[in-house]
């Protein structure tokens, strides 16, 4: 039988790095995951998978192949989802959830046998479901596993064993018990005479008893010749074991009214009083011991096959759910008019994105109002200093680039017309912190500490996204720190977008202060209106001070009430 590997981690989880919770929030992943599923458990699953990143090209291609199969085969998605719901129900509420059946009786084991049979049916249905035109290595390998499981002699034997055991168990209609008595007509022990495929016929036990005694039909051996018959005690409610328990007491003691109460407890050890209510479980134990060979065989069969039928398949279900929910989400977005493309690993260069847009923004904006952009990372453009008017789209573009990598490396399609990229080992974000996180160090101190941690941890295979970094202090102080930070990132050759109001950084980049790898990128304004289009160019004439003043509402018009600040913030 072939091994079942992950359809998300073809080489295992070694080499993956976890996107921080802060970075996930800065990129808007939490919002996207909520759009992909309305179940918190599934949202967490999708977030965990998307936030695990590796620069391994094979993993990205492997995942994308699986996703495309899931996306283009909606009927297969639907059937798999139904099967997974059934398996999840069995896992959550079935007896297979218990870790051991060492002390469990035949009635429990028979029920468990039915559940295992349900798993077999699920495997057969999954085999049929996957018998379609698959293209991806991951799903074809999973199909091979299911086929080998189905065709393997182990699986065939399991089906045959369960069928036979169910037939054997179904044939048990009654058991014949023998009761040994002492000279006072007290029961001293209980034993099994036979297991029968037919139920006893109803008759009068008192008549039979009197007839047997009067006609001296007392046997010299314990072999039953079928002469005595079964009397069913009339009882409106109760299961078979309850009736059997009470009948056992009735058959032995009914004709001996003078026995003391304590002597009556010798009947097969069945307790009196409140304990009599548990006689079903006591008698079940007796039956289990008498049917020990059947119980043992059931246990052997279940322990032999439970891992094959349950564990190996169940562990892949969350990975399928990830792909299915993502495919459903992209279908909904496509129906609304949003454009997506398949990402390709770049043979040359670091990234080429044509027509990119921010997926988080798109969830709240009609498709025909989305403004897309082009952007490349290559040998001459490793770091961009992004400037532009306040609320012109700088943060939106910065966030959009990060999402491209997260989605592509998660195996998904991306919000672009065309996208080629070199996978990154991790994405780092440096966005403005909440006020309560800056109390101890102050805003500038907190920004410096966070940037140093990012710089020490990132590599040339990382992506660093800086949003208004070092803008919480005076321009002179912020500019001084920013210049050294950009130089250091350039030396490390890290792909970076630094959006800022410090337009002077953009001019310095164009003048070559940071070397050939750092370029000025602007959000274009047309006749004073924001276009939300980005392009490589010198910062536009608007002063960084003017942008900051507008952002915080301290221009003359805003201060005097001639312009509503809310129109600009």
What is the CB-side half-sphere exposure of residue 8 using CA atoms within 13 A? 23
Domains, the chain: 54-170+296-321 (no CATH), 174-290 (no CATH), 339-539 (3.40.50.300)
Of 77, 80, 233, 252, nearest to 179 by C-alpha is 252
Burial class (CB in 10 A: 0-12, 13-18, 19+), 97: exposed
What are the structure tokens assigned to 121, written together? Answer: 């049916």
Q: Characterize 445-476 residue by residue with b for buried, 16 or more Cβ atoms within 10 angstroms of its Cβ, and e for exposed.
A: ebbbebbeebbeebeebbbbbbbbbbbbbebe
C-alpha 465/C-alpha 467 separation (Å) is 7
pLDDT of residue 266: 32
Phi, then psi, of 300 in degrees rounded to 5: -65, -45
pLDDT of residue 451: 94
pLDDT of residue 108: 66
pLDDT of residue 72: 96
Predicted structure pTM score: 0.74
Indicate the angle between helix axes 153-171 and 106-129, nearest 10 degrees.
140
Alpha helices in 464-555 (DSSP H): 475-492, 503-510, 544-551
pLDDT in tens, the chain (569 residues): 445 578 999 988 888 999 999 999 999 999 999 999 999 999 999 999 999 999 999 999 999 999 999 999 999 999 999 988 887 776 665 555 555 544 556 666 666 677 777 777 888 888 899 999 999 999 999 999 888 877 775 666 777 777 777 666 667 777 777 777 778 777 777 666 777 778 766 555 555 655 665 665 555 555 555 554 443 434 334 444 444 444 444 333 333 333 333 333 333 343 444 444 444 454 555 555 655 665 666 666 666 655 555 666 778 899 999 999 999 999 999 999 999 999 999 888 899 999 999 999 998 899 999 999 999 999 889 999 999 877 778 999 999 999 999 999 999 999 999 999 999 999 999 998 765 554 555 788 889 999 999 999 999 999 999 999 988 777 888 898 999 999 999 999 999 999 998 989 999 888 888 888 999 999 887 655 666 899 999 987 554 456 667 777 887 788 787 665 444 43
pLDDT of residue 237: 43
Largest CA distance in the chain: 124
pLDDT of residue 60: 96
Of 255, 203, 196, nearest to 228 by C-alpha is 203
pLDDT of residue 252: 38
pLDDT of residue 8: 95
C-alpha 451/C-alpha 464 separation (Å) is 10
508 CB contacts (<8 Å, ≥6 apart)? 483, 514
Phi, then psi, of 51 in degrees rounded to 5: -85, -5
Of 15, 20, 17, 16, nearest to 428 by C-alpha is 20
pLDDT of residue 558: 83
pLDDT of residue 294: 59
According to DSSP, the residues that pair with 10 across neighbouring strands are none
C-alpha 245/C-alpha 242 separation (Å) is 5
DSSP 8-state assignment for residue 538: P
Handedness of CA 68, 72, 78, 83 (dihedral sign): negative
The answer to whether the CB of 454 falls within 8 A of the CB of 23 is: no
Alpha helices in 135-260 (DSSP H): 137-151, 153-171, 205-214, 240-253
What are the structure tokens assigned to 184, written together? Answer: 């006072």
Of 257, 254, 229, 233, nearest to 243 by C-alpha is 233
According to DSSP, the residues that pair with 414 across neighbouring strands are 341
C-alpha 356/C-alpha 351 separation (Å) is 12
End-to-end CA distance of the chain: 63
The answer to whether the CB of 340 falls within 8 A of the CB of 419 is: no
162 CB contacts (<8 Å, ≥6 apart)? 113, 116, 117, 120, 301
Pairing type for strands 174-181 and 529-536 reads unpaired
According to DSSP, the residues that pair with 344 across neighbouring strands are 420
DSSP 8-state assignment for residue 523: E
Handedness of CA 137, 142, 148, 151 (dihedral sign): negative
pLDDT of residue 530: 65
∠ CA 410-415-416, rounded to 5°: 115
**CA distance readout (Å), 411 to 27, 223, 338, 406:** 17, 72, 18, 9
C-alpha 315/C-alpha 311 separation (Å) is 6
Of 355, 372, 401, 421, nearest to 499 by C-alpha is 401
Handedness of CA 552, 554, 557, 562 (dihedral sign): positive
């Amino acid at each position: 039988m072939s091994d079942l590997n992950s359809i998300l981690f073809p080489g295992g989880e070694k080499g993956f790095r976890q996107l921080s919770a802060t970075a996930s929030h800065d990129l808007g992943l939490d919002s996207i995951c909520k759009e992909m599923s309305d179940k918190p458990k599934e949202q967490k699953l999708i977030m965990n998978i998307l936030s695990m990143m590796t620069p391994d090209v094979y993993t990205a291609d492997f995942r994308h192949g699986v996703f495309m199969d899931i996306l283009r085969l909606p009927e297969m998605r639907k059937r798999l989802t139904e099967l997974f719901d059934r398996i999840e129900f069995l896992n959550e509420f079935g007896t297979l959830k218990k870790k051991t059946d060492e002390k469990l009786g035949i009635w429990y084991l028979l029920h468990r046998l039915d559940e295992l049979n349900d798993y077999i049916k699920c495997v057969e249905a999954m085999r049929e479901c996957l018998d379609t035109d698959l293209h991806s290595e991951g799903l074809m390998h999973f199909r091979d596993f299911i086929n080998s499981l189905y065709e393997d002699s182990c699986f065939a034997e399991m089906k045959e064993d369960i069928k036979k055991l169910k037939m054997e168990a179904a044939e048990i209609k009654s058991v014949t018990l023998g009761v040994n008595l002492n000279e006072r007509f007290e029961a001293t022990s209980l034993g099994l005479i036979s297991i029968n495929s037919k139920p006893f016929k109803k008759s009068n036990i008192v008549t039979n008893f009197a007839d047997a005694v009067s006609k001296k039909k007392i046997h010299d051996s314990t072999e039953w010749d079928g002469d005595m018959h079964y009397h069913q005690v009339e009882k409106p409610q109760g299961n078979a074991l309850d009736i059997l328990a009470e009948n056992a007491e009735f058959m032995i003691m009914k004709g001996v009214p003078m026995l003391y109460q304590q002597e009556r407890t010798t009947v097969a050890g069945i307790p009196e009083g409140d304990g009599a209510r548990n006689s079903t479980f006591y008698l079940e134990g007796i039956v289990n011991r008498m049917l020990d060979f059947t119980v043992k065989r059931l246990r052997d069969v279940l322990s032999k096959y439970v891992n094959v039928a349950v564990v190996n398949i169940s562990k892949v279900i969350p990975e399928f759910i990830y792909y299915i929910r993502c495919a459903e989400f992209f279908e909904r977005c496509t129906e609304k008019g949003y454009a997506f493309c398949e990402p390709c690993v770049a043979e040359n260069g670091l990234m080429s994105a044509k027509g990119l847009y921010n997926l988080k923004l798109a969830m709240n904006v009609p498709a025909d109002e989305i403004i897309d952009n082009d952007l490349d990372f290559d040998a001459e453009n490793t770091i961009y200093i992004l400037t532009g008017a306040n609320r012109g789209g700088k943060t939106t573009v910065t966030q959009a680039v990060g999402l491209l990598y997260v989605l592509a490396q998660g195996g998904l399609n991306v919000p672009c017309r065309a996208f080629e990229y070199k996978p990154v080992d991790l994405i780092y974000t440096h966005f403005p912190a909440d006020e309560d996180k800056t109390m101890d160090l102050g805003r500038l101190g907190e920004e410096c500490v966070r940037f140093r941690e990012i710089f020490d941890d990132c590599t040339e295979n990382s992506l660093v996204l800086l949003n208004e970094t070092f803008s919480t202090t005076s321009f002179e102080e912020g500019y001084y720190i920013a210049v050294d930070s950009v130089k250091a990132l350039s030396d490390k050759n890290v792909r970076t977008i630094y959006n800022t109001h410090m337009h002077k950084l953009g001019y310095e980049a164009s003048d070559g202060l940071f070397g050939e790898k750092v370029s000025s990128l602007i959000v274009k304004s047309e006749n004073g209106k924001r276009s939300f289009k980005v392009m490589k160019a010198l910062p536009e004439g608007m002063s960084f001070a003017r942008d900051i003043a507008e952002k915080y509402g301290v221009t003359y018009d805003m201060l005097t009430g001639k312009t509503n600040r809310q129109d600009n913030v």
